[in-house]
Amino acid sequence: MTLRIAGRPPAVVAGIVLFGAVWLGTSAVAIASGAYGPGPLAGMAFWYAVLALLLYRAWAGGPFAIMAIHRIGISFGILILIALVGVLALYPDEIGETLRRGVPGLVGAAALMTSGFLMGREDVTRWRADRNRSRSSR
């Protein structure tokens, strides 16, 4: 017997929660800074609607949404790590300050990559295939 949460593998639940939490946390920091006017906030609202749809479809077992979270999570996580290494290389005299400010980025990158790897697991792939097979036989 395998562990299921609401009929889903735990990797799906954890991957969706991590992916959504990173994007919500990033936006919360951006909004709290007060640097954005109504135009960028409207754009942010649009992309959060897209993100909500993506997370909903992944929760429902949509193959494209699961693949998108898998690829976006890993790709963005790697890009964030490369950017942090680049900043460290450009400002070697301020390593302490850069590391202190870069810790949230490292946490976000790790969470994104973890969500991506979780959504690419074999049990998630099997679950997704079973869900889509049962839908097509209706």
Residue 133: burial class (beta carbons within 10 Å; 0-12, 13-18, 19+) = exposed
User: How high is the pLDDT of residue 102?
Assistant: 80
pLDDT tens, N- to C-terminus, the chain (138 residues) = 466 777 889 999 999 999 999 988 888 887 887 777 778 888 888 989 999 999 999 999 999 999 999 999 999 999 999 998 888 888 777 777 777 778 888 999 999 999 999 999 999 999 988 887 766 665
User: How high is the pLDDT of residue 2?
Assistant: 65
User: How high is the pLDDT of residue 137?
Assistant: 60
DSSP state of 121: S
Angle CA 31–36–38, to nearest 5: 105
User: How high is the pLDDT of residue 92?
Assistant: 75
Alpha helices, H only, 33-94:
38-59, 63-90
State the residue for tokens 């099997």.
126
State the residue for tokens 């976000």.
108
Domain residues of the chain, as ranges? 10-130
| Span between the terminal Cα atoms of the chain, in Å | 26
The interaxial angle of helices 10-32 and 63-90, nearest 10 deg, is 50
